[in-house]
Amino acid sequence: MTTHRVWTSAAVFAAAGAAIAGVLVATQPRASASAGLHWEPCPGQGDPVGMECSQIQVPVDWDHPSGRTITMRLGRLKNTDPQHRLGTVVYNAGGPGPANIPTLPRYAPNLAGLRARFDVVTWDPRGASGTWGGEAQEKACEKDGIPFSLPRNRADYDAKARANQAAYQRCRAVDPELFDHLDSRQQARDLEAIRAALDEPALNFIGQSYGAVVATTYLRLFPDRVRAIYLDSVVNHVTDINADDAMHNLELETLFSQFAGWCAGDAGCALHNEDVHAVWRTLVANANRDPVPVPGSNPAVSYSGDDMIRTAGAFLASARFAEFATAIDAARHGDALPITGPARAIPGFKPVFPPSSAATECADGDLYSDYSAQQSAVAAGKRLAPDFPAERPAYHSVCIGWPQPVANPRAPLPGSGLPPIVGAAAIGDIRNTRAVVDQVPNSTTITVDGIGHGQYLGLGNPCVIPQVNRYFIDGTVPPPNTTCPAP
């Protein structure tokens, strides 16, 4: 399942061995460029050898480039073999909202092979965590998150819209102009400015999870400035929201069926020899009528069935099956603490969404047009995902009442004129990843036989990494129907 940033503290085949034609030409060694950027050691301790930081100025509003500017930090892991350097690969690890530079040390081992031929650069996107000012400003934009909830009727929907708008406004008051320009179209323009500052003739890019939205937006804006694009576990921005939801729903059911199958075959499962689907559906229905308390919460918190659906994804997407089974068993016996999962670290014990991140997703069109459209999505969820009937509408609820026009609408990729791209994803992300990659002729998605979000950067899949590295080096697209085991 595509994992967005919900915890405040996503078939045209290439011939086998086909190379990218036309745009992918930089296979001869190139000296390190980006002479206009001043690189220096990053603040802090424990950075890997070769890690440096710089910064770049960009307009707050790219439609008015002579107006106010903001500073964005860049981070770099230098190429380790200058005599064979080909250029720079830029990445965005997803979100939206988290800073990317702190991920460089964590991802450095997985990037070692790529660094033999490339510098690797990332940046802290506009509006990233830690960039809003003092404690009060960070609280308004990051820590006071928007709850996920499912309006049951029109009155609930209108109340949710008012509550969301109050949360948006608290963050917007910190910096109205920046808040109004956090959509991925602005961020893709930032990426283009980074490419130019690096003196790269064309972009090499890794987009993981929500980073794929920045990538697909860039592909629409600058199709002639692309060399190689790798998309991993993508968030889909190329189909309409209903098609996106349908694929998510099917992925959720596939994940839950994997869990149920594991439980049937493992005597250690807390639900072994039971109908896992029936147990789960009964728990969700009962908890929606009579929420289950979370012991130790102060003030007291209870979990509805919808709350449990929200946290279930954290267990399923990381294959924490034994833990999930134990949590279900505890919840049906009156203890919802185990099923809170990662939300246990959040005040309130429930997943929430930062208003600054909502300012990106909502402006990118991750919303329903009105109450009627939301109700239609609920009905579709019941048909396609009986174990998670309202997971998608509850997720999108953070954008109910979004007061501005969609700045970066969902739209297909141009297809022709783009070089082939490569994707990779496992169960939970594969349908949406294919939906994006298949729009570009001669492209390939590597299917990972297992579960896990972020195959290259996050998980370091030893089957995926060398194929993606080869693609960046010489343009070789993996053969059609390529599969890899889960790491």
- To the nearest whole number, what is the mean pLDDT of the chain? 91
Predicted pLDDT at 444:
98
The contacts of residue 168 (CB under 8 Å, 6+ apart) are: 179, 355, 358, 359, 401, 402, 403
Tens digits of residue pLDDT in 202-225: 999 999 999 999 999 999 999 999
Tens digits of residue pLDDT in 264-318: 999 999 999 999 999 999 999 999 999 999 999 889 999 999 999 999 988 998 7
Lowest mean pLDDT segment, chosen from 134-148, 189-203, 377-391: 134-148
Buried b (16+ CB within 10 A) or exposed e, 102-132: bbbbebbebbbbbbebbbbbbbbbbbbbebb
CATH architecture of 40-126+183-238+412-485: 3-Layer(aba) Sandwich (3.40)
- CA–CA gap between residue 235 and residue 214 (Å, rounded): 10
| pLDDT surpasses 50 at 437 | yes
Supply the pTM of this predicted model: 0.91
| Of the candidates 140, 223, 150, 204, the residue with the CA atom closest to the CA atom of residue 412 | 223
Predicted pLDDT at 12:
23
Domain ranges of the chain: 40-126+183-238+412-485, 241-353
Tens digits of residue pLDDT in 441-463: 999 999 999 999 999 999 999 99
| pLDDT surpasses 60 at 3 | no
